[in-house]
């Protein structure tokens, strides 16, 4: 598979405080990366308009909003996201919310992603939050529910990608955040994996933020990750 193909499987997390800084990152990565994640931090600083600009410029956008609300509110939010023309949208993997989102996005090109268990959480965190499942069991349960709801993909930690891929089959996306190249700090991520190992495990897309946008040479950092993906 060519490097250009892997450029569509690497999602660069624009976890930056301002649109101006995000614009700089995109310029620096021009010709290397084509897919960008916009989450809460940037969204609340003008990032939703920036997402529209990226789409207009031919880039792909992963809108990481992790929606969860009453059915009608989720559906209405998804309808407006469809109009933005972004490629992917996340919501928490609660069955009713997923079914409402799938109905709202029917007929569009939007890929809905079910967030299973955040990569910053471990079994102790889940127990504190009141869950009786451990992280692996809860991820598997939510992956099955996402498949049954008709979602386009699942977001999970890379160590769970193989199990999720076995559940969802070959047609759904398996998107893995918490990717850390060998030798880099884990930060606040608790369930991590290298780019090559994540691809081998069955991930279709890797979300990488700090190891790229926080690097002194962003182009070199992105190229190194793409090369690791190719090795797999």
pLDDT averaged over consecutive 10-residue blocks of the chain (232 residues)?
A: 74 97 98 97 98 98 97 98 98 98 98 93 92 93 98 94 96 92 54 84 94 95 93 80
Catalytic site residue 171?
no
Q: What is the pLDDT of residue 183?
A: 56
Tokens, residue 205 = 């897309």
Domains, in order of start, for the chain: 3-231 (3.20.20.70)
- Residue 189 assigned to a binding site: yes
- Residue 226 assigned to a binding site: no
Annotated catalytic residue: which of 8, 53, 66, 103? 66
- Residue 182 assigned to a binding site: no
Question: Exposed, middle or buried by CB within 10 Å (0-12, 13-18, 19+), for 216?
Answer: exposed
Distances (CA, A) of 198 to 5, 75, 76, 114: 16, 32, 34, 18
- Residues 47-89: pLDDT tens digits? 999 999 999 999 999 999 999 999 999 999 999 999 999 999 9
- Distance between CA atoms of residues 179 and 130, nearest Å: 27
Distances (CA, A) of 184 to 19, 46, 96, 175: 26, 30, 38, 20
- Distance between CA atoms of residues 63 and 113, nearest Å: 10
- Residue 206 assigned to a binding site: no
Question: Which string of DSSP letters, residue by residue, matches 168-199?
Answer: H-SSSEEEE--B--TTS--TT-SS-B-HHHHH
Tokens, residue 120 = 């910053």
Three-class SS state of 127: helix
- Residue 180 assigned to a binding site: yes
Q: What is the pLDDT of residue 192?
A: 66
Catalytic site residue 64?
yes
CB 57 within 8 Å of CB 84: no
This prediction's pTM: 0.92
Q: What is the pLDDT of residue 186?
A: 45
Tokens, residue 42 = 């940037």
Q: What is the pLDDT of residue 5?
A: 79
CB 42 within 8 Å of CB 29: no
H or E segment to which residue 208 belongs: strand 205-208
CB 84 within 8 Å of CB 62: no
Annotated catalytic residue: which of 8, 53, 59, 69? 69
Catalytic site residue 69?
yes
- Residue 5 assigned to a binding site: no
- Residue 111 assigned to a binding site: no
- Residue 167 assigned to a binding site: no
- Distance between CA atoms of residues 178 and 93, nearest Å: 18
CB 118 within 8 Å of CB 90: no
């Amino acid at each position: 598979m060519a490097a250009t193909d892997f450029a569509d499987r690497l999602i660069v997390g624009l976890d930056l405080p301002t649109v101006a800084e995000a614009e700089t990152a995109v310029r620096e990565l021009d010709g290397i990366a084509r897919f960008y994640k916009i989450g809460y931090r940037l969204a609340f600083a003008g990032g939703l308009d920036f997402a529209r600009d990226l789409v207009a410029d031919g880039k792909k956008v992963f809108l990481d909003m992790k929606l969860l609300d009453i059915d009608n509110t989720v559906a209405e939010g998804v309808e407006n996201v469809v109009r933005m023309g972004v490629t992917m949208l996340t919501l928490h993997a609660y069955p009713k919310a997923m079914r409402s989102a799938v109905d709202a996005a029917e007929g569009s090109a939007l890929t809905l992603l079910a967030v299973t268990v955040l990569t910053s959480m471990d079994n102790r965190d889940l127990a504190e939050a009141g869950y009786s499942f451990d992280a692996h069991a809860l991820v598997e349960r939510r992956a099955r529910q996402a498949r049954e709801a008709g979602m386009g993909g699942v977001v999970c930690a890379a160590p769970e990608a193989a199990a999720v891929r076995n559940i969802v089959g070959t047609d759904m996306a398996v998107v893995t955040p918490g990717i850390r190249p060998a030798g880099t700090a884990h930060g606040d991520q608790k369930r991590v994996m290298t780019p090559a190992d994540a691809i081998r495990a069955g991930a279709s897309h890797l979300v990488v933020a700090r190891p790229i946008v926080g690097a002194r040479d962003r182009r070199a950092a992105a190229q190194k990750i793409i090369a690791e993906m190719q090795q797999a």
